[in-house]
Amino acid sequence: MREIQYHKAINEAFIEEMERDETVYLMGESLRGANYPHSEGLAKRFGDQRVLDTPICEAAFCGAAVASAMTGYRPIVDLMFIDFMYTAADEILLKAPQWRFMHGGKVNVPVVFMGAAGGGMKLANEHSQIPSSIILHSPGIKLAVPSTPYDAKGLMKTAIRDNNPVMYFWHKQLMAVTGEVPEEDYTIPFGVADVKREGTDVTVVAYSYMVQLALEVAKKLEGEISVEVVDPRTLEPFDLDAVLKSVEKTNRLVIVDEDTERCSFASELAAQVVDKGFTLLDEPIKRVCAGNYPIPGGYMEQHVLPSVEKIEAAIRSVAV
């Protein structure tokens, strides 16, 4: 098995699915110029009828994608930065996820919305969010949050083949990360978590780039505290059983979520674990999230976002 970078894994998923199904196409901002390397070479390979650069008007091209999905195509919409989804919220959060339900399941809406998510590059509030909770509060749309090249490719291929709308967050800090990816065709089912590291003392649930930080802390604490890292890979659908199984073993839970702490995925997961597995817990659940502030630019960013130090402190606080 070869090792490739995260962005290359996404690029391969595009190529394989576009070659497999001629209804798959990409549209979005600066794709032909490959503003990000995951779209590199696609315009030359597939032509400008299947790799479309759009005007900077997210509401218009997201609406066009939803319409084309309803008429038999499988568009992949690249918003460049996922923060820009707010300017197309009507199409992404109201139209795409709800029209299949409103039409009694007679209309498929196979569209993938994607964009760069998360902080760490000092790009300030409109280019650094990972708005998971907004997506989870919109029934009918799925959410994939890959943390490795293997997951990035497998989840993208599953997303493209799904007949429901899917939001796909790729994290800017993961773009150059390398990992093992098979050369043969594969997909990863939604709603199936992956234990990235086994442990016995504390369960850490993290997603996207936060998985890498959690693994860094787990390695640092090896021999002192045994940390199990559970990566849900998709937040909708979500594999609660995998989390409960891990907590049954460790009796302690830390949730790491780069979204804002208030009304976050971490808040929802904590509530579900208390509801379904309260007796499994020996210590209160700890959350490590972004602060309830806009994400500032420059060096101040570090004071708002989760960090290795904050994750370690949370783990130590429950490992008593």
Kindly tell me if the per-residue pLDDT of 188 is higher than 80.
yes
Average pLDDT, integer, range 158-174: 95
Q: How far apart are CA 219 and CA 216, in angstroms?
A: 5
pTM comes to: 0.95
pLDDT band of residue 119 (cuts 50, 70, 90) is: low
Residue 117: what pLDDT? 87
What the chain holds in terms of domains, given with CATH numbers, is 2-181 (3.40.50.970), 194-318 (3.40.50.920)
Please, which residues bridge with residue 228 across strands? 203
Q: CA-to-CA distance for 305 and 279, rounded, in angstroms?
A: 31
Omega before 55 within 30 of 0, i.e. cis = no
What proportion of the chain, given as a percentage, has pLDDT over 90? Answer: 74
Give pLDDT, residue 303.
Answer: 79
Q: For 150-163, what is the mean pLDDT?
A: 98
**Does residue 5 have a pLDDT over 90?**
yes
Residues with Cβ within 8 Å of 263's Cβ and at least 6 positions away in sequence, in order, are: 133
> From CA 46, how far away is CA 25, in angstroms rounded?
9
Q: Which of 7, 38, 127, 171 is catalytic?
A: 127
Given a contact cutoff of 8 angstroms between Cβ atoms, the answer to whether 101 and 126 are in contact is: no
pLDDT at 80: 87
Q: Is 127 a catalytic residue?
A: yes
Strand order in the sheet with 227-231: 194-197, 227-231, 202-206, 253-260, 286-290
Q: Is the dihedral of CA 168, 172, 175, 180 positive or negative?
A: negative
Query: CA-to-CA distance for 33 and 36, rounded, in angstroms?
Result: 8
Residue 41 has pLDDT above 90, yes or no: no
Stretch 231-243: mean pLDDT, rounded?
Answer: 98
Q: Radius of gyration over alpha carbons of the chain, in Å?
A: 19
pLDDT, one tens digit per residue, over 215-235 is 999 999 999 999 999 999 999
- Does 246 have pLDDT greater than 80? yes
- 128 has pLDDT over 60: no
Q: Which is more confidently placed, 301 or 119? A: 301
Name the residue among 11, 2, 6 with its Cα closest to residue 174: 6
